[in-house]
């Protein structure tokens, strides 16, 4: 894979998916952030995160209501987004799901 895939409007499912959720996920869009992976591999973190944030802003400009960044390495781009809500990120979503689960173990 030469470029990083980022998900637009991908549902973050914390429970087993229902048929409706699966059908909705099948209708979501995905976009490729051209050049992002090559920037990441070259160590250009600022360029990588900037290109991901620009793709998020473009998704919102094109009508997206929710954007989810599928890779943990993309989480830093959230702070650079200037349009719409901050995107969902895998580290934040995972932590939000883990904290309640951990308290059940105490």
- Domain definitions of the chain by residue range: 4-105
8 A C-beta contact, residue 21 and residue 11:
yes
CA-based max dimension of the chain: 45
67: Cα separation from own chain's centroid: 6
For 31-61, the pLDDT digits (tens) are 778 889 899 999 999 999 999 999 999 989 9
Give residue 55's pLDDT. Answer: 92
Contact present, 31 and 4 (Cβ < 8 Å): no
Q: What is the pTM of this model?
A: 0.66
| pLDDT > 80? residue 63 | yes
Of 50, 48, 36, 42, nearest to 81 by C-alpha is 50
Place of tokens 């990120």: 89
Q: How confident is the model at residue 54, as a pLDDT?
A: 94
């Amino acid at each position: 894979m030469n470029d990083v895939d980022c998900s637009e409007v991908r549902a973050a499912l914390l429970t087993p998916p229902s048929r409706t959720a699966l059908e909705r996920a099948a209708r979501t869009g995905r976009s490729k952030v051209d050049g992002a992976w090559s920037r990441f591999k070259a160590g250009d973190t600022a360029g990588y995160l900037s290109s991901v944030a620009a793709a998020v802003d473009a998704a919102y400009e094109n009508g997206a209501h929710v954007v989810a960044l599928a890779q943990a390495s993309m989480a830093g781009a959230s702070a650079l987004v200037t349009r719409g809500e901050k995107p969902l990120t895998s580290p934040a979503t995972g932590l939000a799901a883990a904290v309640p689960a951990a308290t059940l173990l105490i």
